[in-house]
Structure formats: C-alpha cells, structure tokens
Amino acid sequence: MGTVGQGDARDGAAAGGNAGPQAAYLEPTEAPTSADPRTEIPERDGPLDLAGLSAADVAERIAAGETNAFVADSSRSVWSIVRANVFTLFNAIIAGCFLVLLFVGRWQDALFGFSAIANALIGSIQEYRAKLALDRLALLNAVDARVRRDGAEVEVPTQDVVKGDLLVLRAGDQVPADSVVVLSNGLQLDESMLTGESDAIDKTPGTEVLSGSVVVAGEGYARADRLGADSFANRFADEAKRFSLVASELRTSINRVLRWVSWIIGPVALLVLNSQVIAAGGWDRAFQDESWRQAVVGTIAALVAMIPLGLVLMTSIAFAVGAVKLARQKVLVQELPAVEGLARIDIICLDKTGTLTEGDIVFDDAHPIAVADAPGWDAVLGWWGVQPDSNATAKCLAARFTAAPGTEPVGRTSFSSARKWSAVSFGGGSGAAGTWVLGGPEMVFPESAAIPAAGGVPAPGPADSAHAGADLLETAAALAASGRRTLVLAHTPHGAGGELDASEALPADLVPVSLLTFRESVRPDARETLAYFASQGVDVRVISGDNPQTVAAIAREVGLDAPHGVDARQLPDDEDELIDLLRDEVVFGRVTPEQKKRIVLALKAAGRTVAMTGDGVNDALAIKEADIGIAMNSGSPATKAVARLILLDGRFSHLPGVVAEGRQVIANIERVSMLFLTKTAYATGLAVVFGAMLMQFPFLPRQLSIIDGLTIGLPAFFLALLPNAQRYSPGFLRRSLSFAIPAGVVVTIALAFYSRMATSLGIPQEELRTGTTLVLTIIGLWILVVLSRPITLFKTFIVGAMMIGLILVYSIPIVSDFLQLTDPGPDTAVLVIVTTAASIGAIEVVRAIHRRFLRSLEVARQRDARAARSRAR
C-alpha cells in the first residue's frame, strides 16, 4: 500500500503526470502526447471508445513494423561461448605446433594437440548447457497480453501487440509495452523490477505505464505507445546485456604465463632449432639427408614442454566439475570461472527485495488503541482483505481476519498512493456501522489534528486531544522505525451513506481504533548466510530503491550492524568521498539503477572484489559490472542474461556452498599448478641450456607426453577434485612460481648434468633419451609426493599407481617401442641413480624454503589487513 505509515510521499508519479521512473533513470525518448492519433488520450468528459483496433488497423501496423517484436538475449550467444573457449592464446600456440608436426609427417608426436581440443570442448559444452537452460527458462516465462480488438477482448503473444493497441490491465498482469492509461479503476502498478522501489504507484488517465511493471491492484485500459526495442525495459536491458568475461585470477595468471612464454618462444625456437641442426651435422647436411625434420621435432618438443598444457585443461575440468556439482544444488553457472569468482570476493552488495526479503508483504500485528470503542473493526479488516481491487498490503489482512460485516457497504473510497488512505461505510445491521478509514497515520491524523472523543468516553480538552494525536504518531513512527509498515484503522459514526463515492475528503470526527503493522517477509536463510559471510571476512552492503530507514531496519533484523540508512539522493559526486562513504556505511536506500552501477564501480576502483545480487531489471547494470553477478531465477531475463550465477530456486543460502566449491577449485588448482609450472620452468631452462650448449634435445615429444601423464596430468586430475576448505588468499601466481622456478632450476641442472655425462661416456642417443625420461619421471614423481603432503591413503594410492605405470611403460614392448625406450646399460643406470638422488635432496630443500616463504607472506598479509581495519575505524 505504497509507503503508508512511513510518511514517504513519492515524487511525481504518485500524484499523476509523467514524472515516472523513466525521468529518473533514462532520458525519455518520447513523452506521451496526443500528437499521434493512434495513441491519443480521449477526453475524460467525453465518451470513451473501448472497442480497440480493427483487424485492418492491426494489419496496417504490422506492415509498418510497429509491433512489439523484440528478440531479447536471455543468455550468451553461441558465438561468444565458442570465441571465449576456442580463440585463446593457449590454443593458438598449440595449434601452431600441432600443424608443424603434421607438416613434417610426425603425427605420432602431435598427441599434445588433443589437450587443446579437450579444453575447448569442455568449456564450450558446459557453458552451452548453461545457455540452453537459460533459454528454456525464458521460454517457460513467456506470457500473453490481453488487448481489445474489434470490440472484443482477446489474448495475443506479447510480440504481437501493435502500436495503438488497447491493453486490458488487471491484477497480476505484466505490462507488455510502454503505454498511456486511458481508463483507471484503482489501477496500481509495482515498478520494483524497473526502479527498485517496492511501493505501488497509482495510475490515472494520462499517466504512463512502463513495460515490465506489474499490476498489483485495480484494473484499467492503456494505449500501447513505445514497443519492442524502444520500450523502457528493453532499452534498459540493451545497455546491460553486453556480456563480458568474468575476472578470474586463475585464468588471468595462466594467461600471464602464456604471454611470458609467447614473448620468448620465438627466440627460443630459433636457438633450439639451430642447436638441433648443428648437432645433426650442420645446415647443409640437414637439408641433404632431411635430418632437419628430426631437428624440427626436437624443437617442437622443447616448445611444447614450455607450455603448461595440462594446467589449462585441468582448470577447465575443475571448473566444469564444480559447475555440475552446483547445478545439483540449483545453482546455474553461466561461465565456468565464476565457480572460482565467488570464493575471491571480499564484499557483496545485496538488493533488499528478493534477496533479504521474499518480496511480499505479510501482516504483523494489530495494536488496539484504548481510547476507541468501535465494535466490528476486525470484521471490517476482513472485508478489506478479500476485495479484488485491494492492493497487496490490504489483501494480506485476510490471513488474520476471516469474519466480515453482515451487509454490503453503502459507500467506499478506493485507496490512492497520493492521499494514502481508503474508506468504506456500512449501514446499521452490519455489526460495523459507520465509516472506516484505513491509511497512513500521518495522513489520517496529521500532527495538527486533534483526536475527538470516542463513543462513551468523556471528551478531552484541546490540549489532551492534541497530545493524544502526537502520541499516536509517535507510536506509529516507533513501529515504522523497526522496519514495519504502519497503518491506522479509524472510525466515525458519521457518513454511513453514499457520500464517500463522490468525495475524497476525510470524514469528520475520526477516532483511531487500532494501529496495524505489516512487514516484508524476510528470507529464512538470510541471517545464517550473512553470518557465514561475516565469519569469512566478507563485507556486506545493502543497496535498495526503498526507504533507507526501512531497509536499515530489515538489515538489522537479519543481523547486520546498520544503525541507519543512507539516502542515495545525497550521495557525493566526488569518487573518493563516495568510496569513503561506502567503507563506513552498510545500507543505502533510494538508489537508482545508475547509482547501483556507480557504487559497484567505486568499490572495484577501491580494490575490492565485488559480488552483486538482484532480480530486477534495475539490478542488471550493477550485476553486469560486478566481478560476480548473481541473479534469482524469479528475476528479469535481462538480469539473468548478464549474471554469472543464477539461483534457480531463489535460495540465498546456496551462496556459502558456491563459496566452498570455489575455494576447493582455487586451493587444489594452486597445488597442481606448482606441478605444471615446474614443468614450464625446467622446460624453458632445458631449451635455453641445450640450445646454448649445441646439444640435441634429450626428449621426443611423445616421451614428454608420457612423462606429463604419469607425473602431472593423471595425478593432478584427482588432486584437483579433492575436498579442500582452505580460505582464499590473493597472490596465487606468486606463491606457485616461488616453488616452481627453483624446482625447475634443479631439474634443468640435473638433466643437463646427466646428458653431458652420458654424451662424454659415449652412450647412444636412444639410450640417453631413455635415461633422461627415467630421471625426469622419478624426479617428477618425487615433486608430486612433496606437493601432496600431508600424505593420505588416497594420495598414497595415486602416487603408487603412477609408479606402477612407470614400470609398465618400460616393460610392455609395444609401449616401449612406440616411445623409443631401450634397456639402460650399467653406465646409464649409475648416472640415473646418482642424478635422481641428488635432485630429490635438492627438491626437499626447495620445499622447506618455500614453506618458510609462504608463512612470511601470510604474516605480512594479516598485518596489512589489521592496518587496513584500523584505518577504517
């Protein structure tokens, strides 16, 4: 019932005219006028033609393209999904190497290409599944519009509405196009999906109704004016729908490594190719006996080893598995890295309606006033609760008050959000004789008004009556400050006739009977979810289009420390001042969609990682700009299309599960990334060292593929999916490289030492490669053991299985022949044992130093966090 009881009169739209939300948030493209005869507003005192358009009129408008047809993006396009997963730097490098090997006829060494194909397929398929789910939801939510044509009321698909159509609007209908009201019978609209304000708006003839708003009370007719892409909701959605990739530290860090590799891959390729050709006898001989082909294969082996192939694939798999697990919890992941994103946030912005509250009004309590003596008041409330044209606030009275007066009313005045009260009169014999008024206390009993005597009560003096009026308003204000909407039921024995139908003035001698309080239904999971975020160090900001003090009261109800709310109409223009205000305050009310977007951008500029939840079109811009946008399934298609995560059952309590899944992904990928980045480090070192020493590269690509599978790929797959509740801490790449680079140096020195010694001993090239494969596999398995600590039974099983796999590779003839492995001689065996033993000791030293380094980083991070909190206080 509007802002009844809160003294919160709306500007413009409540009283009529065209100062609706479009004036506040978007520049109007065409104000409703009578210039176009097809949208002309009939004179109020003349006959009103409700026949609607004729079939010929409709055909003419369809031919002119003046229809409501608009293909809204309910999700990402297929092309954007393919582009994001296929056209990447990683795939470009791998595809280049893959094509070179096919060109020289060595497809056996091109197995690594399948990892790029698998990576692109996993990401594309999972995100396409999310797109199909969203498209199905959009199709299920499609509704028809009710119009009058050729004098009859018909239902047509919303896209078939044409300019000038006479829309029939009843409670529960969603307005399909921007229109001008031509007839209203208590018509009230909820524009919260567009403006964020949950109060109903009166619509009288001549006022504009916006597409996407919902009729909550009354009925009326409106002439369709702006349709399709020109309508308010679609213009708003068009700005929001441009999808951008979610910020992902994992993806960003991996891409950074790939960029580093791409910068040096050209010079390294030339260095290695030259060394391979020189080692084969020189450039002239290489082209004579075609040994250049083997030189190219060796070069590709060195280059592919530098690329963290498996890390990209493993990250995609971890994201995909996380998305599937979240789908079982009714959380739809639009973009795979969003699984990680929510675990990184340090502040979450919530819209009140649909997030903290259910978005509906429920009756709270009746507070009878002792001075009154008016039998039948509860029956009158029961009558109001069942009227078809009552708004949502009045209708919720029916749940508590089930009786009704014995006769029909003899007069009534419908509710208006401009005057904020309604009235009804009953005659004698009804058990509730007299006139009853239900409305805002400050509107029914202004501060200057005195409360008269009730029947049977001695009349108070003027001072006493004024004092009684002040007490009533003070009590109502206290109830409103607790977040409850407050109405007063008043009664007078006068006016028990039909004069209410012709008058909008308050009846005389009203006496308050009872204060009635209403509240928004708070989501039962809101308090627990917010407590979880608080325990995890995640700040919360509530930004809503509603009254700031009402929002603050609801915020306190769910456990937030919000002594008051900030009116966004007074937000500072200076960006630094806004950031300071956002740091200190928790609740912001009367926030426009553009201000929500500005708040999110300001928080991001301050270095915060921001999540934004919401369900209305008014939330779409902010959700799009947030690091992680979260939409409710009940929200608008535009909002869901740009969100990263969608709560399919609308349960806010799923978010801790999303955080936990994201933390598991981040923590486990960080662990396995040390395996992959160690390989990148030693592969780069080997390429440079062997190129500088003019030695043949000691591996074939296929040998490196099997080493990767045994020491990194297969075990990393299982390690990446293990439970892990470690809290997120920024600096993933720095921590990983602080181990990977020293460990890579150890491996490079070990293999260079082994190769130089083997060459000096005259060991054949195939046996030398067999030995290097054995050395690298053993060192790789030990690095796996080091990074898997603490060792559990499951991890022991994984490492043991990989060691068995190593034995099988050497003992199964068809496998060893394909990999060109031979039995190592005595010299090779001794070299392998000495090299691996020294390397294992060095790896243990590197890990010990690495652990000390990580502890020092954590101490520094905690010290900085304490300093930041002190500055904030």
> Is pLDDT above 60 for 584?
yes
Residue 523's alpha-carbon distances to 111, 479, 511, 656, in angstroms, are 53, 21, 36, 15
Distance, in Å, from the CA atom of 633 to the CA atom of 614, rounded to the nearest integer, reads 10
CB-facing half-sphere around the CA of 507: CA atoms within 13 A: 32
Task: Report the pLDDT value the prediction gives residue 338, as an integer from 0 to 100.
Answer: 76
- Tokens representing 226? 């702006």
What is the residue type of 318? A
Residue 174, helix vs strand vs coil: strand
Concatenated DSSP letters for 232-282? HHHHHHHHH----PPP-HHHHHHHHHHHHHHHHHHHHHHHHHHHHHHHTT-
**DSSP at 713:** I
Rg over CA atoms, the chain: 36
What digits encode the pLDDT tens for the residues 819-854? 888 888 899 899 999 999 999 999 999 999 999 998
Distance, in Å, from the CA atom of 104 to the CA atom of 281, rounded to the nearest integer, reads 19
Q: Give all strands (DSSP E) within 813-868, no chain letters.
A: none
Mean of per-residue pLDDT scores for the chain: 77
**DSSP at 13:** G
Q: Torsion angle of alpha carbons 247, 253, 256, 262, nearest 10°?
A: -120
What is the residue type of 114? F
Q: What is the mean pLDDT of residues 699-707?
A: 77
Contact 779, 754 (CB under 8 A): no
Task: Report the pLDDT value the prediction gives residue 848, as an integer from 0 to 100.
Answer: 93
Task: Report the pLDDT value the prediction gives residue 497, as an integer from 0 to 100.
Answer: 47
Greatest mean pLDDT among 97-101, 128-132, 432-436, 447-451: 432-436
Residue 343: count of CB within 10 angstroms of its CB: 23
Residue 222, helix vs strand vs coil: strand
The rounded Cα 642 to chain-centroid distance in angstroms is 8
Q: Give all strands (DSSP E) within 633-782, no chain letters.
A: 645-647
What is the residue type of 642? V
- The one catalytic residue among 8, 351, 364, 389: 351
Instruction: Give which of 644, 630, 616 is closest to 237, Cα–Cα.
Output: 616
Query: pLDDT-derived band of residue 871, with 50, 70 and 90 as boundaries?
Result: low
What digits encode the pLDDT tens for the residues 560-569? 988 888 988 8
What digits encode the pLDDT tens for the residues 267-309? 888 887 887 777 766 777 766 666 777 777 777 777 777 877 6
> Is pLDDT above 80 for 204?
yes
Q: What percent of the chain has pLDDT over 70?
A: 79
Distance, in Å, from the CA atom of 177 to the CA atom of 38, rounded to the nearest integer, reads 15
351 is a catalytic site residue: yes
Q: What is the mean pLDDT of residues 350-365?
A: 79
Q: What is the mean pLDDT of residues 358-374?
A: 76
> Is pLDDT above 50 for 32?
no
- Tokens representing 741? 């680079």
Distance, in Å, from the CA atom of 107 to the CA atom of 100, rounded to the nearest integer, reads 10
Query: pLDDT-derived band of residue 241, with 50, 70 and 90 as boundaries?
Result: very low
- Tokens representing 653? 């309590």
Residue 177, helix vs strand vs coil: coil
Q: What is the mean pLDDT of residues 435-440?
A: 88
Distance, in Å, from the CA atom of 844 to the CA atom of 336, rounded to the nearest integer, reads 35
Helices (DSSP H) in 363-461: which residue ranges?
Answer: 377-385, 392-395, 441-444
Query: pLDDT-derived band of residue 19, with 50, 70 and 90 as boundaries?
Result: very low
> Is pLDDT above 50 for 26?
no
Distance, in Å, from the CA atom of 417 to the CA atom of 200, rounded to the nearest integer, reads 7
Contact 454, 372 (CB under 8 A): yes
Handedness of CA 148, 149, 155, 158 (dihedral sign): negative
Instruction: Put the strands of the sheet holding 485-492 in their side by side order.
Output: 357-368, 511-522, 485-492, 434-439, 421-426, 411-416
Contact 517, 367 (CB under 8 A): yes
789: left (phi over 0), alpha (psi -120 to 50) or beta: beta
